[in-house]
Amino acid sequence: MSLRFGTDGVRGVAGTELTPELVLALGRAAARVLGRGPDSAGRLAASRPTFLVGRDTRWSSPLLQAALSAGLAAEGIDVVDLGVLPTPGVAAVAAARNLPAAMISASHNPYTDNGIKLFAAGGRKLGVADEQRIEADLAALVGPRPAGPGTRSGDALGCLDGDPEARGWYCDQVVGALDGRRLDGIQVVIDCANGAACTTAADIVTRAGAEVVEALAASPDGININAGCGSTDPSVLARAVLLHRADAGLAFDGDADRVIAVDGTGSVVDGDRLLGLFATDFRRRGRLAGDTVVVTVMTNLGFHLAMAQAGVAVHQTAVGDRHVLEALDEHGWSLGGEQSGHLIFRDLATTGDGVLSGLLLLDLVVRAGRPLAGLAAEVMDRLPQVLRNVEVADRDAVTGAGAEPVWAEVRAVEAELGDRGRVLLRQSGTEPLVRVMVEAPTEQAASQAADRLVAVVTATLS
Percent helix, strand and coil across the chain, each rounded to 5? 40, 20, 35
Measuring CA to CA, which residue among 206, 194, 202, 168 is closest to residue 83?
A: 168
Q: Are 58 and 103 in contact (CB under 8 A)?
A: no
Query: Phi and psi of 231, rounded to 5°?
Result: -65, -20
How far apart are alpha carbons 152 and 149 in whole angstroms? 9
Active-site annotation holds for 334: no
The helix/strand/coil state of 251 is strand
Please enumerate in sequence order all residues whose Cβ is within 8 A of that of 57, keeping only pairs 6 or more positions apart, or say none.
84, 194, 195, 196, 198, 220, 222, 225, 254
Query: Phi and psi of 256, rounded to 5°?
Result: 60, 30
Q: Are 417 and 386 in contact (CB under 8 A)?
A: no
| Helices 87-97 + 166-176 axis angle, to 10 | 90
Measuring CA to CA, which residue among 332, 334, 336 is closest to residue 296?
A: 336
How far apart are alpha carbons 331 and 318 in whole angstroms? 16
- Please provide the DSSP assignment of 58-77 as one string: STTHHHHHHHHHHHHHHTT-
Catalytic-role residue among 69, 107, 231, 340:
107
Strand segments, DSSP code E, in 228-348 are 248-252, 259-263, 268-269, 292-296, 313-317, 335-337, 343-345
How far apart are alpha carbons 409 and 456 in whole angstroms? 8
Query: Phi and psi of 67, rounded to 5°?
Result: -65, -45
Torsion, Cα 390 396 400 405, to 10 degrees, reads 0
Q: What is the DSSP letter of 84?
A: E
How far apart are alpha carbons 187 and 406 in whole angstroms? 48
Torsion, Cα 268 228 257 114, to 10 degrees, reads -150
**What b/e readout covers 120-153, taking b as 16+ CB neighbours within 10 angstroms?**
bbebbbbeeebbebbbebbbebbeeeeeeeeebe
- Tell me the catalytic residues: 107
